[in-house]
Chain A
Amino acid sequence: MTTHAATLDAPPQHMGLPLRNGKLAMWLFLATEIMFFSGLIGAYIVLRFGQPVWPRPHDMLLEEFLGAINTFFLICSSVSIVLAHAAMLKKKLGLALVYIAVTLALGGVFLLIKAHEYTHKWEHGIFPGGIHESPDLALKQAIADYRNKLSLDEQKTDADLAAALALADRFAVQEFKTTQAQLAAYRELQAKLAEKHGEKHDGHGLHLPPVHPNGNLWASLYFTITGFHALHVLGGMVMFVVMLVRAALGLFTLESVYFVEYAGLYWHFVDIVWIFLFPLLYLIG
């Protein structure tokens, strides 16, 4: 009984790790983040390589150049935040604040480029549920739109347009054995129509939208993964804004060096995630 009471009263043992609690907590949080992004990237790998047909990056308006530029900006921001930490350890508070502001600006540029990419895709109908995956359905929709437009304009089809529509109708009722053959026939029809009407008469001709099998699955994965990554970038930027506001209020001192270190750890992790997303989405596709 006495021994038991003595055990309860004993002071708690220290873990023995020569680490600050804040750093330990940040690494614990990053461990959960590793699992979170492993799940997302793992889902992408399995869904992407499990499909017989997958959209190419260019089909989905992904430009490698923009991806590479964004990678460059994130790498620069990683360097600037680690230099801010080094400056604080050397008691150069002003220099550290400049580096933090640079990091914030680079994160902002990254998000602006991402916003440009999202907008561009949205304008071209590249979003979950907005992509035509089947040539049959895309063609039927295009024919219906075109007939509707003709009746609204009170115009009649000329011989070429009638022939094009007849061709399209024949195509629409054809049965194709595989998606590849269907796609090839659809693209051939697109080329024929473009040749027949040309750009000049495009407004009056039958417009066939692009068809991308599994395009909606691609869009769901792309927007989910890059969206969560962008939210993480935004979260890091909020931390940098807090630092700068505290500095403006005179509350950010050399004692805040650990805050910079922990925010830096988080920011580097966000950088590492993008290091894997860039080749997976933009280069391998």
Chain B
Amino acid sequence: MTEAHSEQAHEGHGTERIYLTVFAALVVFTGVSFMTVNESLWPFGPQAGHTLVMIVAVCKAVLVAMFFMHLKWDWFKLYFMIVPPLIMGALLICALMPDLTFAHSIKWAWLPYLGQ
């Protein structure tokens, strides 16, 4: 299928309705994220709140990428260019994890030697 045919396929009937539905979902997701900082609305503690807002952020990003960036239709033409940087980005953070894990022990390791 050529690109022109592909566009006609996903820009056909009801496209605006899909966009507005996604928009409504994004607004609701933002509201849910905002709710977690209010203790009266979110009684489950900050840890659960932080987990939720990150899950919500991933859902929002997937919605924008799938529908607004047309990856729902173009994914198989573009995945080879999108997946590698995502893997590299995740690897970058994983590679820095030891720095994070040992930060506390390394930071104060010099204290006993102070003044010697």
Contacts and interface: CB of A to CB of B under 8 A. Distances in A.
Given A68-B34, A283-B37, A46 B60 contact: no
A55 to B, nearest CB: 15
B20 A79 contact: yes
Nearest to B38: A64
Given A38-B92, A82-B19, 19 more contacts: A18-B6, A20-B3, A31-B85, A34-B82, A34-B86, A38-B90, A52-B107, A68-B34, A72-B30, A75-B23, A86-B15, A86-B16, A269-B69, A272-B61, A278-B30, A278-B57, A279-B54, A283-B49, A283-B50
B115 to A, nearest CB: 12
A264 interface: yes
Interface string A222-265: 00000000000000000000000000000000000000000011
Interface residues of A, number: 48
Given A83-B16, A279-B54, A272 B64 contact: yes
27 contacts: A18-B1, A18-B3, A18-B77, A23-B3, A31-B85, A34-B82, A34-B86, A34-B89, A35-B85, A39-B89, A39-B92, A42-B92, A43-B96, A45-B93, A46-B100, A64-B37, A68-B31, A68-B33, A78-B64, A79-B23, A86-B16, A275-B57, A278-B57, A279-B53, A283-B34, A283-B36, A283-B49
Contacts of B54: 279, 284
B80 to A, nearest CB: 9
B19 A83 contact: yes
Contacts of A35: 85, 88-89
A86 B85 CA distance: 29
B89 A28 contact: no
Contact of B82 (A19, A27, A268): A27
Contacts of B97: 46
B99 interface: yes
A264 B37 contact: no
Interface of B: 1-3, 6-7, 11, 15-16, 19-20, 22-23, 26-27, 30-31, 33-34, 36-37, 49-50, 53-54, 56-57, 60-61, 64-65, 67-69, 74, 77-78, 81-82, 84-86, 88-90, 92-93, 96-97, 99-100, 103-104, 107
Contact of B96 (A17, A42, A75, A269): A42
B67 to A, nearest CB: 8
B77 A276 contact: no
A255 to B, nearest CB: 13
A36 B8 CA distance: 33
Most buried by A among B64, B84, B93: B64
Contacts of A275: 57, 60-61, 64
A31 B81 contact: yes
- 4 closest Cβ pairs, A-B complex: A38-B89, A50-B103, A279-B53, A34-B85
A225 to B, nearest CB: 14
Given A35-B88, A72-B27, A276 B93 contact: no
Contacts of B23: 75-76, 78-79
B36 A46 contact: no
Contacts of A24: 81
B87 to A, nearest CB: 10
Given A35-B89, A284-B50, A68 B69 contact: no
Contacts of A17: 77
A71 interface: yes
B103 A75 contact: no
Contacts of B6: 18
Nearest to A87: B16
Contacts of B90: 38
Nearest to B46: A284
Contacts of B19: 79, 82-83, 86
